[in-house]
């Protein structure tokens, strides 16, 4: 890491590029499957790799999508069209050099996008996922290692308190410490009526989305130094719950409150806590029960931008909140909803 005095103008330009553009190269790179530059260390500073300005309405595929269903928890590799997690478009610049991160749900979706971005920003990354998601997780491990960083894969069920504690212990041991915790894994199952939600589903949703965040945070905090960050994945449904996502929305509303309260507790330790609240994002959560099957082909069409977001488009928020550039930011919720709405 360089110890030269920073150029404030260069830092400002870099921050604006990262926050405003989201580090997404666009439709040509998405369709070409490799046309955009990979974020190898050699490419990280290349101006040619930076995303160009373009119309966000046309940047990625728009509905209608093919009808599709998967058994929960779903695989990104089986989705049509395939999600973009930034595999070929995210360009890092060393913002997280030397950091050590644990990301739950890191095999696909938003967690996978965060894992790729963190590795290309210089962090070593541990990901958690369910055993059924092993094939997606292997791809993420390869991408982290391709960026020259250490990857740790730890499968297991977050509904088990003992496993959550062991997950944090193992991640910290194998990474040599823990600076970033991203509580991202979630269960989402659409049901038309409360009468269709079983106690088993309600319990599983609460434990995956809310209890696990509590257990993991509690285990991680004693291992985290001042300057560390916890980032929780909330949702726009925390404030605008769809009728079919009653239990899921309830957990996300609780996560917003949990984030704000925990941030106040941890301020005296110098640990920041924030949340990211996505709108409609194209992830395996949707075809594996997160949406009603007949509604999935039009998923995201009601967004003012006319399409769902791609995981790559939210990765820069997770980078910003983990970085030292957000040193005075704690207890906040940052939305990425495709125009309008806050958690």
DSSP line for 142-165: HHHHHTT--EEEEE--TT-HHHHH
Residue 130 lies inside a defined structural domain of this protein = yes
Which is the catalytic residue, given 90, 118, 248, 281? 248
Tell me the whole-structure pTM to 2 decimals: 0.85
Q: Token digits for 279?
A: 């709108």
- Report if residue 245 sits inside a domain: yes
Task: Render pLDDT for 200-239 as a digit per residue (tens, 0 to 9).
Answer: 999 999 999 999 999 999 999 999 999 999 999 999 999 9
Higher per-residue confidence, 8 vs 248: 248
Q: Is residue 185 part of a domain?
A: yes
Please report whether residue 17 resides in a domain: no
User: Band of the pLDDT at 243, cuts 50, 70, 90?
Assistant: very high
248 part of the active site: yes
Residue 279 domain boundaries: 97-336
**Residues in CB range of 155: below 8 A, 6 or more apart:** 128, 129, 130, 131, 133, 134, 137
Distances (CA, A) of 252 to 15, 179, 235, 333: 29, 24, 6, 12
Q: Judge whether 249 lies within some domain.
A: yes
Q: How far, in Å, CA of 227 to CA of 331, rounded?
A: 14
Provide the CB-side half-sphere exposure for 74 (13 A, CA). 26
Write out pLDDT tens, residues 54-71.
999 999 999 999 999 999
**77 in a structural domain:** no
Asked if residue 71 is part of any domain, the answer here is: no
Please state the domain count of the chain: 1
In a domain, 342, yes or no: no
Q: Report d(CA 228, CA 280) in Å as an integer.
A: 29
Q: Nearest 5°: CA angle at 292, between 298 and 137?
A: 90
Q: How far apart are the first and last CA of the chain?
A: 37
CATH number of the domain within which 156 lies: 3.40.50.720
- In this prediction, residue 271 has a pLDDT band, given cuts at 50, 70 and 90, of very high
For the chain, give the mean pLDDT: 87
């Amino acid at each position: 890491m360089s110890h030269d005095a920073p150029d404030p103008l260069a830092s400002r330009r870099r921050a604006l590029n990262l926050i405003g553009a989201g580090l997404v190269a666009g439709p040509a790179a998405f369709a070409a499957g490799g046309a955009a530059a990979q974020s190898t260390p050699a490419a990280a500073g290349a101006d040619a790799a930076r995303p160009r300005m373009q119309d966000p309405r046309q940047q990625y595929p728009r509905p209608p999508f093919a009808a599709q269903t998967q058994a929960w928890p779903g695989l990104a590799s089986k989705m049509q069209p395939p999600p973009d997690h930034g595999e070929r478009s995210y360009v890092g610049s060393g913002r997280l050099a030397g950091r050590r991160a644990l990301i739950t749900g890191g095999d696909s979706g938003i967690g996978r996008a965060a894992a790729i971005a963190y590795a290309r920003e210089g962090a070593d990354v541990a990901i958690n996922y369910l055993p059924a998601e092993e094939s997606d997780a292997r791809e993420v491990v390869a991408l982290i290692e391709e960026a020259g960083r250490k990857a740790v894969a730890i499968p297991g069920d977050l509904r088990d308190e003992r496993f959550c504690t062991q997950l944090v212990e193992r991640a910290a041991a194998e990474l040599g410490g823990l600076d970033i915790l991203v509580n991202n894994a979630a269960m989402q199952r659409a049901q038309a009526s409360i009468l269709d939600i079983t106690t088993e589903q309600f319990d599983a949703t609460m434990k995956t989305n809310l209890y696990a965040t509590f257990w993991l945070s509690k285990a991680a905090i004693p291992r985290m130094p001042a300057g560390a960050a916890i980032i929780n994945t909330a949702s726009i449904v925390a404030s605008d719950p769809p009728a079919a996502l009653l239990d899921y929305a309830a957990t996300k509303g609780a996560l917003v409150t949990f984030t704000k309260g925990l941030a106040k507790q941890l301020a005296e330790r110098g640990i920041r806590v924030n949340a990211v609240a996505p709108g409609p994002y194209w992830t395996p959560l949707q075809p594996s029960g997160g949406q009603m099957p007949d509604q999935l082909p039009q998923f995201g069409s009601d967004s003012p931008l006319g399409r769902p977001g791609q995981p790559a488009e939210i990765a820069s928020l997770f980078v910003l909140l983990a970085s030292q550039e957000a040193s005075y930011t704690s207890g906040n919720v940052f939305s990425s909803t495709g125009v309008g709405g806050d958690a």
